[in-house]
Structure 1
């Protein structure tokens, strides 16, 4: 089964600015897919459409139109880790991660002890459990990015969308996040993430889609797609793909 099927997707913003042009993409359940491209390539617009924030029937989520999903059902199927998310309230970290359990609660229901345990375990996975009672307003940018990942982990959705998942992280936390995401993928979660970083794409993805100026340049297994020639075409600058032992580096 495909986790996502995108057929001939074109999106134009009000005012006539075309962001995506004739995108077709099938992402199988269990794949880890990097959406690679420069600024303005259409990566964020594509995520918005997949989340249902911009209505379009060109997208099927597990063989079902996005418009046919109820809010809670969609929340149990699809989770987002944005780069950042402003908040005007001083939630504790644990309370914030508990929002990830919302798709499993009744309309007037409150989180159960089991929900609280799931949220706490998600904080443990990202290394923030010691700050569970701290206000989210007292976090660094990197800590906030880890918190957003914890909330998505607690949501336990089948498909995880991530927007530049390591952009604000120091090297140690970048390695932690890579390990977490590899673990989620090994558990059967489907991952789809945007990035500017070809090294991150190669390290985490099984497949890579390259977007250039709103069009799909190529899509396929990373070993076939991430080449010196394709990266140079994608970014209009000279890049090299090198093999050092069993590791691949792009510079």
Structure 2
């Protein structure tokens, strides 16, 4: 979306915000009472990009789904805007937080434009049609991700990477205050990775809070204000981008430090 429109939209919305927009305290996560993570403390503030790094199976997706209320917390608490997560009506929460999963099946032949326009659903009444403004916001999100030329294509006919870009565009069209992105660049080519990362950095500068996971430390180095390492369901390290070094990454991913150094050479 255009810089002027987005800045105008966010300025009033964030002017009075204080404290973390999303906070977890002593959080335990898992499925059907089987814990896969615990003692998780996390804070996300307005206008910051927090990157979560961790190996497969460390609990990143489960953590995100718990923060969103899609999975129940097994212990501890989640607060959104200072208010306990269970106290948020679902529609109000959908206006506040946008989520981009790693992948999403598209069971119906929606076009890319229709998928992105779905991001406006939370702003439209139950029986209302999208307004000209809704369509304009969706169109600008498509432009921002460089996929406007795919608007008329069916989602099932575009590549997995292009479909992922459409999911990110849908989240932008939602105009939420918080974005939770689960490995948003995992299926993208190099150019589109840079495009998404640039958009993430821009959103942070405009006051949007972004929590994202990635397997690529260089992406965190490019856009993160803060970084957290998640291993075996626990946050084992946190801080600024300076905590990303060969020794720390070797410990996090269980590989020799020499391999990390060789890979960055």
The answer, yes or no, to whether TM exceeds 0.5 is: yes
Shift of 1:129: 0.9
Check conservation: 2:29, 2:37, Cα contact below 8 A: yes
- Which of 168, 175, 183 is the aligned partner of 2:194? 175
- Which of 133, 136, 140 is the aligned partner of 2:152? 133
Residue aligning to 2:26: 8
Check conservation: 1:55, 1:67, Cα contact below 8 A: no
1:176-229: per-residue Cα shift (whole Å, max 9, x none)?
111111111111111111111111111121111101101110111122x21233
Shift of 1:34: 0.7
- Which of 52, 66, 81 is the aligned partner of 1:35? 52
- Which of 66, 85, 100 is the aligned partner of 1:49? 66
- Establish whether residue 97 from structure 1 lines up as the match of residue 107 from structure 2: no
- Which of 147, 154, 158 is the aligned partner of 2:166? 147
| Whole-angstrom CA distance in 2 between matches of 1:202 and 1:33 | 11
- Establish whether residue 69 from structure 1 lines up as the match of residue 88 from structure 2: yes
1:34-88: per-residue Cα shift (whole Å, max 9, x none)?
1100011110110110111012361111111111111221111100111211011
Residue aligning to 1:245: none
- 1:146–1:214: structure 2 CA closer, same or farther, 3 Å change rule? same
Check conservation: 2:47, 2:203, Cα contact below 8 A: no
- Establish whether residue 238 from structure 1 lines up as the match of residue 256 from structure 2: yes
Answer 1 or 2: which has greater strand percent. 1
Residue aligning to 2:12: none
| Whole-angstrom CA distance in 2 between matches of 1:12 and 1:80 | 19
Check conservation: 2:30, 2:62, Cα contact below 8 A: no
- 1:178–1:161: structure 2 CA closer, same or farther, 3 Å change rule? same
**Larger deviation: 143-152 or 2-11?**
2-11
- Runs of at least 4 residues of structure 1 off by over 2 A? 11-14, 238-242
| Superposed CA RMSD | 1.7
1:97-148: per-residue Cα shift (whole Å, max 9, x none)?
1110011111222210110010011111111112211111111011001000
Gaps of 5+ in 1: 243-248
Q: Could you say what secondary structure the match of 2:41 adopts?
A: strand
| Whole-angstrom CA distance in 1 between matches of 2:257 and 2:205 | 30
Residue aligning to 1:18: 35
Q: Could you say what secondary structure the match of 1:7 adopts?
A: strand
Shift of 1:250: 4.5
